[in-house]
Amino acid sequence: MRAQYFLRAALGLLFTLAFLLVIAGGQRPTLLEKIELALYDQRLNFTLQANEDRRVVIVDVDETSLASIGRWPWSRGTIAELVDVLFDEYEVALLGFDVLFSESYTRVEIADVEKLLKEGGGLAEVSVLAGLSGDAALSQRLSEHPVVLSMMFDQDDARVRMGALGDPIRLHGELPESAPLPRPKGYVANLPEFARHAEAGFFDNPLVDLDGVYRRTPLLQYYQGDLYPSLALALWQALVFSKDVLPVVESDITGRYQVLTALDAAGLHIPVDPRGAMLIPYRGGIGSFPYISASAVLDGSADPALLNGAIAIFGTSAAGLMDLRTTPVGHLYPGVEVHASILSAMLDQRFLYEPDFVQSLELVALLVCGLLLSLLLPYLSVLSGSLLSLFLMALVVTFNLHAFSQYQWVLPLATPLLLIVLLFMLLQTAGFFLEVRNRHNLARVFGQYVPPEIVRQLQESGQAIHLEGEARQMTVLFSDIRDFTSLSEDLSATQLARLINLYLSDMTAIIHRYQGTIDKYIGDAVMAFWGAPLQDQEHARHALQAALAMLDALPGINRALHAEGLPTLSIGIGLSAGQMSVGNMGSSFRVAYTVMGDTVNLGARLEGLTKYYGVQLLVSEAVSQQASDYVYREVDRVRVKGKAKPVGVFQPMGMATALTEDDLAWLQVYHAALEAYRQQRWQAAESGFAECQTLRPDDKVSELYLQRIQQLALTPPPADWDGVFDHQSK
């Protein structure tokens, strides 16, 4: 037991060490990364805020707006009018556009021209209308109001260059050379006249996770020597009237490498990873911010209380225009709300981040869990080990959730949970195989004395010594070697042991083959039973098959004995079926799994009667009834010693399909003679038994009945004679 503990503990410690080396090396398997991301999503959804943030409002191009104003894109005059209304009438604090204005727009709407012509306008007026409806009108509004436009970068194609990028941010301090900021090759920006009058931020995200989910986004991208902000960062900078950004750089534990850990934007400390990306602090699911239809803004029906002093972000939700993203809080999440969530977190200074000590904390957690499980699980039962593992998992999850919700720390969760699960499975599996090996050794050694079926059942049930007695319908077999005492007198101890071992090995194998259990060996005798410890609905039939197979195997055993100069054997077998008591029986010093009861005693008596009747196999009436596919000869009705009630004694003759017509005819003559005998028709009985003996001279049963008839003729039976023969010996 001690060796098994140390083996399992060493196995657990080695596995923990290997796991630690993999995690410390930074090469995490893809499956582990996906599990970690999924657990991050669950934690994020668990801690989402339920309230709506009215500081940021979405001005939405919805279906109602398209029906009222017309298909997208709208004229720049309409956009210009929208800007005027938002600032002049609703007094928004800041406006951001989550759409691009990368191409000139001078289209004149037909409805406007028709209206102008109906009012008497001419070609000059139409030209003025075109100018007012085009880019000039919007450019003028951008110069008058605080507006932030969008742009996007192309990570692969340097040929994509459209519009003007505008001014980059002012970086105070140096980024570490190792900072792998996204370095796009191309861009799509706004018209130069727009870029001159408004700041801009990119809305693309080149750092989507491997499963396509938007969990983090870069705040900066590096293009041709300049740094450009994201849309959310550009909105924040416009809000605080500052384009200054200070990188926060820290040294690693060795002091040799510089790592980007945060960005300071006008006093706002934003934690980022070395790539300059932040975890998107989603405020909630879809609808975490108020949506106001753009048409409602233009016609003046929007609620002023929602827009006054708010930061408005212009976006689209109409079918075919909706900018959808896959996020942890929704599979079809509006892209405009991603920017709104980041801006909302900036206003609250609420950021999720991985602290710089995260790897050290992770390794310590793995080491503690690995040591505890490796040293304790081998001591504990499966149930106790399961409870310990569940407790550790609950402890890890509770601490992780507390750090996530209270300190906004994003700590690894998949690795400690996976280590706990794998260690539990590994150590329990190792314990199982070690236990199986021990059980096999037990079965191999102990099975020489106890039937393997009992050992197997005890192993599976776990009831090693607690097998209480119970009543069952079973069949018992007794077999004995004829005249064994006289045979053994002429044999040496070695020869006797060889004879018994050869005989009992073959007979035991036959009994096991037919699902029987060896109860005990009584010298040369074998006691076996069917129906326990495993239930057997055909116990009588299986016992009879085993008895007949034992008799069939005897000539082969005798040939083997004769070849070794040992005497040949003759055996008798008795079978009895019925209710018996079975279980562990004995004393406080020794117990044995055995059967007891009148049915068992009858089986022993039947084995003894085989010699008297000159047959090798006798069965009780219950066996003949339960194994009814065999043909039997009723040998006698007897009272055995110790029982007052007479019992029928039968000799199996074989399967009904295997008997010949001569066999059946002989049995018919025999049973007719037996019936005449019991009716005291002595002459008919004598004639019948004489015919049976003539046909089969070696039939001792017919000979016994002829002897009884002669005696009864001299001494007639009493008037209440029932044809039962009393056996006073065992």
The C-alpha angle with vertex 68 and arms to 63 and 73, in degrees rounded to 5, equals 70
- Say whether pLDDT at 445 is over 50: no
Query: pLDDT tens digit string along 162-190?
Result: 999 988 999 888 888 767 899 999 999 99
> Which helix H or strand E contains 344, and what residues bound it?
helix 335-348
Q: Establish if 261 belongs to a structural domain.
A: yes
| Same domain membership, residue 425 and residue 318 | no
User: Rounded distance, CA 58 to CA 691, Å?
Assistant: 115
Mean pLDDT of all residues in 633-648: 86
Mean pLDDT of all residues in 340-369: 92
**Separation in Å, CA 334 to CA 210, 238, 421:** 20, 23, 37
Query: Containing domain of residue 12, as a range?
Result: 2-40+358-442
User: Rounded distance, CA 488 to CA 495, Å?
Assistant: 9
Strands 470-481 and 571-586: antiparallel
pLDDT band of residue 453 (cuts 50, 70, 90) is low
What is the CATH classification number for the domain harbouring 599?
3.30.70.1230
Mean pLDDT of all residues in 217-222: 95
Cα–Cα nearest to 43, from 451, 495, 414:
414
Residue 43 near residue 73, CB atoms below 8 Å? no
Q: What is the pLDDT of residue 466?
A: 39
| Same domain membership, residue 286 and residue 153 | yes
The two tokens of residue 302 are: 């929007």
CB atoms within 10 A of CB 355: 16
User: Rounded distance, CA 370 to CA 374, Å?
Assistant: 6
Identify the residue whose tokens are 């130069």. 192
Identify the residue whose tokens are 């020794």. 590
- Say whether pLDDT at 708 is over 80: yes
Strands 244-251 and 258-265: antiparallel
- Say whether pLDDT at 316 is over 60: yes
CB atoms within 10 A of CB 661: 7
**Separation in Å, CA 482 to CA 82, 216, 487, 554:** 117, 91, 9, 13
The domain boundary residue, chosen from 306, 324, 348: 348
| Same domain membership, residue 476 and residue 372 | no
- Say whether pLDDT at 1 is over 60: no
Least reliable range by pLDDT among 219-233, 316-330, 473-487: 316-330
The domain boundary residue, chosen from 407, 442, 477: 442
Q: What is the pLDDT of residue 249?
A: 85
Q: Establish if 45 belongs to a structural domain.
A: no
Query: pLDDT tens digit string along 43-83?
Result: 999 888 778 899 999 999 988 999 899 888 888 889 999 99
| Same domain membership, residue 428 and residue 502 | no
User: Rounded distance, CA 61 to CA 319, Å?
Assistant: 10
Mean of the per-residue pLDDT values of the chain = 88
Q: Establish if 142 belongs to a structural domain.
A: no
| Same domain membership, residue 495 and residue 438 | no
| Same domain membership, residue 562 and residue 685 | no
| Same domain membership, residue 186 and residue 323 | yes
Query: pLDDT tens digit string along 586-623?
Result: 776 776 778 999 999 999 999 999 999 999 999 999 99
The C-alpha angle with vertex 137 and arms to 131 and 143, in degrees rounded to 5, equals 145
| Same domain membership, residue 329 and residue 223 | yes
Question: What letter does residue 87 receive in the DSSP assignment?
Answer: I
Cα–Cα nearest to 476, from 552, 525, 544:
544
User: Rounded distance, CA 230 to CA 151, Å?
Assistant: 9
| Same domain membership, residue 696 and residue 569 | no
> Which helix H or strand E contains 642, and what residues bound it?
none
Least reliable range by pLDDT among 130-144, 664-678, 680-694: 130-144
> Which helix H or strand E contains 574, and what residues bound it?
strand 571-586
Q: Is 314 in a helix, a strand, or coil?
A: strand
Counting every residue, how long is the chain? 730
Residue 692 near residue 702, CB atoms below 8 Å? yes
Phi, psi of 648 (to 5 degrees): -85, 140
Residue 636 near residue 670, CB atoms below 8 Å? no
Cα–Cα nearest to 82, from 306, 329, 298:
298
Q: Establish if 468 belongs to a structural domain.
A: yes
The domain boundary residue, chosen from 573, 608, 628: 628
- Please tell me the total count of domains within the chain: 4
Residue 86 near residue 307, CB atoms below 8 Å? yes
Mean pLDDT of all residues in 210-239: 94
Q: What is the pLDDT of residue 529?
A: 93
Mean pLDDT of all residues in 696-720: 90
Question: What letter does residue 718 receive in the DSSP assignment?
Answer: P
Would you list the DSSP string of 502-550?
HHHHHHHHHHHHTT-EEEEEETTEEEEEESSSS--TTHHHHHHHHHHHH
Q: What is the pLDDT of residue 449?
A: 41
Residue 21 Ramachandran class (φ > 0 left, ψ -120 to 50 alpha, else beta): alpha
Q: What is the pLDDT of residue 27?
A: 75
Residue with the bigger pLDDT between 392 and 447: it is 392
Least reliable range by pLDDT among 197-211, 250-264, 382-396, 541-555: 250-264
User: Rounded distance, CA 505 to CA 560, Å?
Assistant: 13
Q: Establish if 392 belongs to a structural domain.
A: yes
